[in-house]
């Protein structure tokens, strides 16, 4: 019976280690590897306990070991619960406050040093946030009209701006630690970054500042960029995003090209969904870090680049790309360009 009880206790701990809350903690503190190692060790101990129960082992030394192990299991569960509590304590959410115009800080020191994640949703009258989130790492803003975010967010590395306007985007040039950016539901621009940020980035009273220079104000640390459902977006200009590794363009019904036919050389993952794009950049073969290419509902995409795809590519997904999917079938003209890819998923 003791073995069964202990095995059940270990299963509870394993479930907690796999929870979304602990995954957040892993991400923030970079201890995911250690916790995964702990989970593997606990799984092995659980297997030994199950075996001991089946064999009905009654050895005194084994019984003592099980008793000690039970105490350790309780201690581990306490630590895991403390981790989960710290993660939950670091989150804040503001939503459906339709008449809220200003967020007043009432804490004595005026700071929120424990808040690492903040989500603001459906606060259409809120115009500004307090300048007190020095430890904020993840910020999501949904349907907040003209909300202006303070530029001093030194720890921010993930930002999602959903269905907001120019005012919210004004903070981008100042977020030097930003590594992940998602912009969705923004209808005005025809290009990125110029259309989104060009006027915002040009210094006051500039006489000859070009957009090429202005782009330098964007954080060069950006590694993950998602642009979705920006209905007027036609092109992306990514020359200055040399650190970019993941690019996703989704539901942009006019998106047709990459400016200068160029993509960042460190790109590992490229996803384009629901786009009228007709061709991919010619230099795609030279992206030696590219591992995953996903194209869905790109019905005007006619063919793969003449020089083919990079040998580094391990995953290819083509779904509902009528012209290209046929060319990439085993009898198609582009089959030789994809035959080397280990994992291919093609749906006509």
**What is the rounded distance in angstroms from the CA atom of residue 259 to the CA atom of residue 234?**
10
Quick check: 317 and 323 in contact, CB under 8 A?
no
Q: Which two tokens stand for residue 331?
A: 């009898």
**What is the rounded distance in angstroms from the CA atom of residue 200 to the CA atom of residue 214?**
9
Instruction: Please provide the size of the chain in residues.
Output: 348
pLDDT of res. 110 = 54
Angle subtended at Cα 228 by Cα 224 and Cα 234, rounded to the nearest 5 degrees:
100
**What is the rounded distance in angstroms from the CA atom of residue 273 to the CA atom of residue 263?**
17
The maximal CA–CA distance of the chain, rounded, in angstroms, is: 87
Q: Give the least confident one: 49-53, 245-249, 266-270.
A: 49-53
CB atoms within 10 A of CB 257: 18
Q: pTM for the complete prediction?
A: 0.74
Before 193, cis peptide (omega within 30)?
yes
**What is the rounded distance in angstroms from the CA atom of residue 325 to the CA atom of residue 348?**
6
Quick check: 244 and 238 in contact, CB under 8 A?
yes
Q: Give the least confident one: 80-89, 122-131, 161-170.
A: 80-89
User: 276-279 long-range contacts, Cβ below 8 Å, gap at least 24?
Assistant: 276/300, 277/301, 278/302, 279/303, 279/305
Report whether pLDDT(114) > 50. yes
pLDDT of res. 49 = 65
Region class of 72: left (phi > 0), else alpha (psi between -120 and 50), else beta: alpha
Categorize the per-residue pLDDT at 214 as very low, low, confident or very high, splitting at 50, 70 and 90: very low
Categorize the per-residue pLDDT at 326 as very low, low, confident or very high, splitting at 50, 70 and 90: confident
Name the average pLDDT for the chain.
77
Per-residue pLDDT tens digits for 146-166:
888 777 888 999 999 998 877
Nearest alpha carbon to residue 304 among 266, 342, 346: 346
Residue 299 CA: distances (Å) to CA of 110, 249, 274, 296: 53, 15, 8, 8
Categorize the per-residue pLDDT at 172 as very low, low, confident or very high, splitting at 50, 70 and 90: confident
Report whether pLDDT(254) > 60. yes
Q: Distance of alpha carbon 264 from its chain centroid, rounded? A: 18
pLDDT of res. 188 = 73
């Amino acid at each position: 019976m003791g073995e069964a009880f202990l095995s059940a206790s270990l299963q509870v701990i394993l479930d907690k280690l796999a929870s979304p809350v602990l995954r957040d903690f892993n991400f923030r503190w970079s201890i995911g590897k250690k916790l995964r190692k702990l989970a593997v060790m606990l799984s092995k101990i659980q297997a030994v306990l199950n075996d001991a129960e089946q064999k009905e082992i009654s050895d005194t030394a084994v019984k003592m070991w099980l008793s000690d192990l039970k105490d350790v299991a309780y201690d581990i569960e306490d630590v895991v619960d403390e981790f989960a509590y710290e993660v939950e304590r670091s989150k804040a959410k503001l939503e459906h406050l339709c008449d809220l115009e200003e967020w007043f800080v009432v804490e004595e020191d005026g700071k929120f040093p424990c808040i690492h994640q903040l989500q603001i949703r459906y606060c259409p009258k809120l115009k500004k946030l307090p300048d007190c989130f020095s430890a904020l790492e993840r910020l999501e803003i949904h349907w907040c009209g003209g909300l202006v975010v303070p530029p001093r967010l030194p720890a921010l590395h993930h930002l999602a701006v959903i269905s907001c306007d120019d005012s919210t985007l004004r903070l981008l040039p100042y977020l030097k630690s930003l590594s992940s950016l998602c912009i969705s539901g923004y209808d005005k621009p025809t290009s990125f970054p110029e259309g989104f940020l060009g006027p915002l980035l040009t210094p006051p009273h500039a006489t000859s500042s070009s957009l090429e220079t202005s782009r330098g104000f964007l954080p060069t640390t950006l590694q993950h960029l998602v642009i979705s459902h920006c209905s007027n977006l036609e092109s992306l200009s990514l020359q200055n995003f040399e650190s970019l590794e993941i690019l996703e363009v989704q539901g942009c019904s006019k998106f047709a090209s990459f400016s200068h036919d160029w993509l960042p050389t460190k790109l590992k993952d490229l996803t384009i969904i629901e786009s009228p794009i007709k061709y991919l950049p010619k230099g795609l073969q030279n992206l030696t870090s590219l591992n995953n290419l996903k194209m869905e509902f790109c019905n005007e995409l006619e063919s793969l680049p003449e020089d083919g795809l990079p040998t580094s590519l391990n995953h290819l997904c083509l779904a509902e790309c009528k012209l290209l999917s046929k060319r990439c079938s085993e009898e198609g003209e582009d089959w030789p360009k994809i035959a080397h890819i280990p994992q291919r998923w093609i749906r006509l």
